[in-house]
């Protein structure tokens, strides 16, 4: 089952839990599963049907361009990170 | 000569395709742009660091003979205050627009407030003097910690602190707060045998590119806008111009000119929308070139910072806990670089428990933007200092503690990321094995040696290439990545390697936004990696098409044609690439390969390290660099000379951060050193030859093992030089730059402490 890593500033929602096992084959399904277990989660990370601009989602250590559509494997880690504005050089 | 790496082109050192044009002065830069009927634009900038704009009267400027158009911020389209997606990250439109031309407030000395287009630069300058701006001066705040205080002058009346998707509702200059935690840092510190904590400050510094920002715009009567500019990303420039001017991108063509340095600072736009609107208003094309003071006063420096680092280790030397507090200036608008700093602060070490607490803070300085491994140099300066102190308390050598704790495959960083195959250990081992490290440290009472290590992650993003096969067997390769570091050649070499060609057989060119598929910025050390990957895929596309053409000639199925080392074969039939290219006319005409990539896995990252030998003059505090070596993991060095060039360039900039460079503001927020005479970057007279050692730990996420090498090399120099200064004279500054007066002050304080100890 994928493991979602909860940012420390959102762990009030998860009663302090940093890692949560959730069902889901996409980021969208993982977020939905987290929101079902921890109401309010979706509101913190989504703006409508998109990930909030200030947040990035990484699956297995790589920030995903596909956003909510990104695939999540059974052994995947899903991280919610502060977005880094593009174009370092 | 082929490299001894299994490849024929990769690892060799061909002459760069654009080299002759550049050394003979024929290359066309933005300032060279010439069009019929060209006007010249100039910008009026705020003399105040923080002021409300009460009124702007342009009537006298408009009346000046030769003036063709005058603009203020209110002439920019007002598309509301929305978040715009620029393809590589979002931006708040009001901030983007107000940084181009202020509307309600000037937020830094040098903030643009009006612009003029005239028949000559001199008339435009004269017109600027006739524009009357009434300001209400406000108290400015220039220091990151002062800006965080309650009661500090507030830059944005409506700004509240955001905490990871939650609006706290607290009005403040603190734009964003976030943190990372791994394990239980408090418990780990409590159990540590040795704990060290120190505070650090780093100055605001500029990218210091030699070519100033420039833009030429032509707004045609049909509403089509063309912009010629010096940019690190023509497509992101187009997106930003479109957002500011509320125009569809289909109406805008951006033509990237040659670029005289960028280092991250030429990703944002400044002049482009202004030149465009001046062109629209005047009906003529308008060229604008920033003055050097304007470049310093108004374009993105890298943030000044306040950093506190605490680390703990057990008696074996294993680092068991780490804690960072990182506050970065983001300049006048939020959205700074502290997120990247958080990813780098403990990135070189395998630490099981830790905490990283980050703050993005607005101050009355120009909006901060990327500068080569943005955020990494600041935090490496701090972390490497504390690691050396741990080593000293444990009786370990600096290299020994690093080799005992280096990050490696499977290391989980405190921000949660798990490393794939990485070259940190190999880079540290290359220090150990180097002739420099094994040589004697500088002799004499004031000589010393230091080492350090730093990191920068790479990014993937989107790249496109097309490749046209010419009848003479050469290939015209078109790409969208502007070339700031020899990437035309490093991309062309990957194409050539794939098809068994010579690098010289491939003619690369950088195209405008109407002539190639979307390509993201030249930044994040991504071009040789991602655009190189697109070139590799385009070459495979050409290969597949040519197999079909050969099959037609030999009257066999395409699947019966094999390609190896530049030769197509089927049974007894055999044609070289060049021979087959000459027969395209009889098999269906031109062959064009194409590819796009958007890699979001296997992007990798690069570690770099330094060995620095210095001599300190205790009387003056001047530090001379006697010998300096940079070691970096390139994954696979496509063109080793250009890899070495990046390593040397990043090192020199890092040395500038270490010893000289800083924005020097007067008390009222005016920048007092906005010229290269007073803003002191290192020159060849200040430096020895920068020695390079390339380490190759191939990136498994790339067809040729590439890791981006443009950035990690700037991270370690200040820390290595600080360690060398300490080794030389026994003091180690905790503030950048380590300029002479700081060294002298530290030595005096050191002597006073020693005298008190002796007396007491």
Are the beta carbons of B264 and A7 separated by less than 8 Å?
no
CB-based contact, A65 to chain B, within 8 Å: yes
d(CA B326, CA B335): 15
> CA B587 → CA B561, B583, B584, distances in Å?
15, 7, 5
Are the beta carbons of B711 and A88 separated by less than 8 Å?
yes
d(CA B402, CA B418): 19
| Closest chain B C-alpha to A45 CA, distance in angstroms | 6
Closest-approach residue (CA) in chain B for A87? B523
- DSSP letter at B251 equals G
Closest-approach residue (CA) in chain B for A56? B89
Q: Which residues of B touch A84 (CB under 8 A)?
A: 89, 339-340, 343
Q: Which residues of A touch B91 (CB under 8 A)?
A: 85
Complex prediction ipTM = 0.90
Backbone angles phi, psi at B4, to 5 degrees: -90, 60
- DSSP letter at B275 equals H
- B82 near B139, Cβ under 8 Å? no
Mutate to test the interface with B, among A44, A77, A82, A89 (most CBs of B within 10 A): A89
Q: Which residues of B touch A5 (CB under 8 A)?
A: 416
Beta-bridge mates of residue B691: B629
Closest-approach residue (CA) in chain A for B354? A8
Q: Please state, as a whole number, how many other Cβ atoms lie within 10 Å of the Cβ of residue B64.
A: 16
Q: Is B78 left (phi over 0), alpha (psi -120 to 50) or beta?
A: beta
Are the beta carbons of A44 and B233 separated by less than 8 Å?
no
Per-position DSSP letters for B414-477, written without gaps between them: TTSPBP-S--HHHHHHHHHHSHHHHSPPPPSTTEEEEEEEEEEE-----EEEEEEEPTTS-EEE
Are the beta carbons of B418 and A61 separated by less than 8 Å?
yes
Structural domain harbouring A36: 3-82
Closest-approach residue (CA) in chain A for B708? A89
The per-residue pLDDT for A82 is 84
| Closest chain A C-alpha to B554 CA, distance in angstroms | 44
| Closest chain A C-alpha to B25 CA, distance in angstroms | 26
- Asked whether residue A88 is assigned to any structural domain, the reply reads no
- B631 near B424, Cβ under 8 Å? no
Domains and their CATH numbers in chain B? 35-138+213-290 (3.90.1170.50), 140-206+300-419 (3.30.365.10), 438-447+604-760 (3.30.365.10), 460-597 (3.30.365.10)
Q: Which residues of B touch A88 (CB under 8 A)?
A: 264, 340, 370, 372-374, 456, 459, 523-525, 711
Q: In the numeric block, which tokens belong to residue B518?
A: 């979307």
- B420 near B604, Cβ under 8 Å? yes
Q: Helix (H, G, I), strand (E, B), or coil: what is residue B293?
A: helix
Are the beta carbons of A87 and B181 separated by less than 8 Å?
no
d(CA B103, CA B92): 15
CB-based contact, A1 to chain B, within 8 Å: no
Are the beta carbons of B90 and A53 separated by less than 8 Å?
yes
- Asked whether residue A32 is assigned to any structural domain, the reply reads yes
Are the beta carbons of A89 and B232 separated by less than 8 Å?
yes
Between chain A and chain B, the number of residue pairs with CB atoms below 8 A apart is 136
Q: Residue A16 burial by CB count (10 A; 0-12/13-18/19+): exposed, middle or buried?
A: exposed
* Number of compact structural domains in chain A: 1
d(CA B265, CA B290): 14
> CA B324 → CA B89, B192, B386, B597, distances in Å?
26, 17, 11, 36
d(CA B179, CA B249): 37
| Closest chain B C-alpha to A58 CA, distance in angstroms | 9
Q: Report the residue from B233, B339, B371 with minimal CB separation from A84.
A: B339
* Cα B13–chain centre separation: 25
Give, rounded to a whole angstrom, the gap between the first and last alpha carbons of chain A. 37
- Asked whether residue A15 is assigned to any structural domain, the reply reads yes
| Tens digits of residue pLDDT in A37-86 | 999 999 999 988 888 888 889 898 888 878 899 999 999 999 998 887 54
**Sequence-ordered list of residues with C-beta below 8 angstroms from that of B345, at least 6 positions apart, any chain:** B309, B324, B326, B356, B379, B382, B383, B414
Q: In the numeric block, which tokens belong to residue A86?
A: 């593009």
* Cα A12–chain centre separation: 16
d(CA B41, CA B287): 6
- Chain A 5-24, CB below 8 Å of chain B: which residues? 5, 7-10, 18
d(CA A50, CA A70): 12
d(CA A64, CA A68): 9
Mutate to test the interface with A, among B183, B417, B463, B528 (most CBs of A within 10 A): B417
Mutate to test the interface with A, among B90, B164, B482, B601 (most CBs of A within 10 A): B164
Mutate to test the interface with A, among B81, B165, B326 (most CBs of A within 10 A): B165
Are the beta carbons of B601 and A85 separated by less than 8 Å?
no
d(CA B247, CA B653): 38
- Chain A 39-58, CB below 8 Å of chain B: which residues? 44-45, 52-55, 58
- B549 near B471, Cβ under 8 Å? no
Closest-approach residue (CA) in chain A for B458? A88
- Asked whether residue A87 is assigned to any structural domain, the reply reads no
Specify the CATH number for the domain of residue A26. 3.10.20.30
Can you list the alpha helix ranges (DSSP code H) found in B7-86?
19-23, 59-63
Q: Report the residue from B335, B416, B601 with minimal CB separation from A62.
A: B601
Q: Which residues of A touch B373 (CB under 8 A)?
A: 88
Low-confidence ranges of chain B (pLDDT < 50): none
- Asked whether residue A89 is assigned to any structural domain, the reply reads no
- B374 near B337, Cβ under 8 Å? yes
Give, rounded to a whole angstrom, the gap between the first and last alpha carbons of chain B. 69
Per-position DSSP letters for A52-87, written without gaps between them: -TTEEEEETTEE-TTGGG-B--TT-EEEEEEPPPS-
CB-based contact, A62 to chain B, within 8 Å: yes
**Sequence-ordered list of residues with C-beta below 8 angstroms from that of B488, at least 6 positions apart, any chain:** B16, B17, B18, B479, B508, B509, B510
Residue among B205, B326, B333, B201 nearest B265 (CA): B205
Q: Which residues of B touch A9 (CB under 8 A)?
A: 163-164, 166, 177-179
Residue among B442, B225, B194, B420 nearest B316 (CA): B194
Sheet containing B305-313: order of strands? B166-171, B160-163, B174-182, B353-362, B319-331, B305-313, B194-202
Number of H helices and E strands in chain B, helices first, is 20, 30
- DSSP letter at B250 equals G
The per-residue pLDDT for B88 is 58
- Is B132 in the active site? no
- Asked whether residue A23 is assigned to any structural domain, the reply reads yes
| Tens digits of residue pLDDT in B116-171 | 999 999 999 999 999 999 999 999 999 999 999 999 999 999 999 999 888 999 99
């Amino acid at each position: 089952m994928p493991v979602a890593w909860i940012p420390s500033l959102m762990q009030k929602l998860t009663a302090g839990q940093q890692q949560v096992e959730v069902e889901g084959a996409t980021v969208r399904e993982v977020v939905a599963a987290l929101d079902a277990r921890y109401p309010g989660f979706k509101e913190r990370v989504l703006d409508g049907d998109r990930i909030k601009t200030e947040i990035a989602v990484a699956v297995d250590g790589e920030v995903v361009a596909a956003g909510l559509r990104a695939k999540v494997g059974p052994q995947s880690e899903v991280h919610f990170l502060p977005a880094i504005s593009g174009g370092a050089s | 000569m082929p490299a001894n790496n299994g490849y024929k082109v990769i690892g060799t050192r061909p002459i760069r395709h654009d080299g002759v044009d550049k050394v003979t002065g024929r290359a066309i830069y933005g300032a060279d742009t010439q069009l019929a009927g060209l006007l010249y634009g100039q910008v009026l900038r705020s003399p105040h660091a923080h002021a409300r704009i009460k009124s702007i009267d342009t009537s006298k400027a408009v009346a000046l003979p030769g003036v063709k158009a005058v603009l203020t911020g209110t002439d920019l389209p007002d598309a509301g205050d929305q978040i715009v997606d620029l393809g590589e990250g979002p931006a708040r439109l009001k901030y983007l627009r107000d940084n181009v031309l202020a509307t309600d407030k000037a937020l830094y000395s040098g903030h643009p407030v009006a612009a003029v287009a005239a028949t000559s630069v001199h008339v435009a300058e004269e017109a600027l003097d006739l524009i009357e701006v009434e300001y209400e001066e406000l108290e400015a705040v220039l220091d990151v910690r002062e800006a965080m205080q309650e009661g500090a002058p507030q830059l944005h009346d409506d700004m509240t602190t955001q905490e990871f998707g939650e609006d706290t509702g607290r009005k403040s200059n603190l734009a964003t707060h976030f943190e990372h935690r791994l394990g239980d840092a408090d418990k780990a510190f409590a159990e540590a045998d040795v704990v060290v904590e120190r505070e650090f400050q780093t100055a605001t510094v500029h990218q210091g590119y030699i070519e100033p920002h420039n833009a030429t715009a032509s707004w045609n009567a049909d509403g089509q806008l063309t912009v010629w500019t010096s940019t690190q990303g023509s497509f992101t420039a187009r997106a930003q111009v479109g957002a500011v001017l509320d125009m569809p991108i289909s109406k805008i063509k951006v033509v990237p000119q040659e670029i005289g340095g960028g280092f991250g600072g030429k990703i944002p736009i400044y002049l482009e929308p202004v030149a465009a609107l001046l062109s629209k208003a005047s009906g003529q094309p308008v060229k604008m070139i920033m003055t050097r003071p304007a470049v310093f006063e108004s374009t993105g420096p890298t943030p000044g910072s306040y950093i506190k680092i605490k680390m703990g280790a057990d008696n074996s030397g294993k680092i068991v806990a780490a804690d960072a507090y990182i506050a970065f200036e983001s300049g006048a608008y939020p959205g700074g670089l502290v997120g990247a700093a958080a990813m780098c602060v403990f990135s070189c070490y395998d630490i099981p428990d830790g905490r990283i607490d980050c703050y993005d803070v607005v101050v009355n300085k120009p909006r901060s933007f990327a500068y080569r491994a943005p955020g990494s140099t600041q935090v490496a300066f701090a972390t490497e200092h504390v690691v050396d102190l741990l080593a000293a308390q444990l009786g370990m050598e600096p290299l020994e503690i690093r080799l005992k704790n280096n990050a490696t495959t499977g290391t989980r960083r405190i921000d949660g990321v798990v490393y794939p195959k990485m070259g940190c250990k190999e880079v540290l081992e290359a220090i150990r094995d180097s002739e420099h490290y094994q040589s004697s440290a500088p002799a004499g009472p004031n000589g010393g040696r230091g080492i350090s290590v730093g990191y920068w992650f790479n990014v993937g993003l989107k790249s496109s290439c097309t490749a046209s096969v010419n009848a003479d067997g050469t290939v015209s390769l078109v790409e969208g990545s502007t070339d700031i570091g020899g990437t035309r050649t490093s991309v062309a070499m990957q194409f050539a390697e794939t098809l068994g060609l010579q690098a010289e057989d491939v003619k690369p060119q950088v195209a405008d936004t109407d002539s190639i598929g979307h390509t993201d910025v030249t930044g994040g050390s991504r071009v040789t990696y991602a655009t190189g990957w697109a070139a590799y895929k385009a070459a495979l596309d050409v290969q597949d098409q040519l197999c079909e053409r050969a099959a037609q000639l030999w009257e066999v199925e395409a699947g019966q044609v094999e390609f190896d080392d530049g030769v197509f074969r089927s049974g007894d039939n055999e044609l070289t690439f060049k021979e087959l290219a000459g027969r395209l006319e009889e098999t269906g005409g031109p062959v064009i390969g194409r590819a796009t990539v958007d890699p979001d896995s296997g992007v990798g990252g690069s570690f770099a390290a330094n060995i620095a030998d210095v001599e300190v003059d205790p009387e003056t505090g001047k530090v001379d660099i006697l010998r300096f070596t940079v070691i970096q993991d390139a994954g696979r060095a496509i063109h080793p000379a250009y890899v070495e060039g990046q390593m040397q360039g990043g090192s020199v900039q890092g040395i500038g951060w270490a010893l000289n460079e800083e924005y020097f503001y007067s008390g009222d927020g005016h920048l007092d050193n906005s010229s290269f005479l007073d803003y002191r970057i290192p020159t060849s007279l200040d430096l020895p030859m920068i020695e390079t050692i390339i380490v190759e730990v191939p990136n498994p996420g790339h067809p040729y093992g590439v890791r981006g090498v443009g950035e990690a090399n700037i991270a370690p120099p200040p820390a290595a030089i600080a360690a060398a200064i300490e080794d030389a004279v026994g003091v180690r500054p905790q503030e950048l730059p380590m300029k002479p007066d700081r060294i002298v002050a530290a030595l005096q304080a050191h002597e006073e402490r020693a005298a008190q100890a002796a007396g007491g």
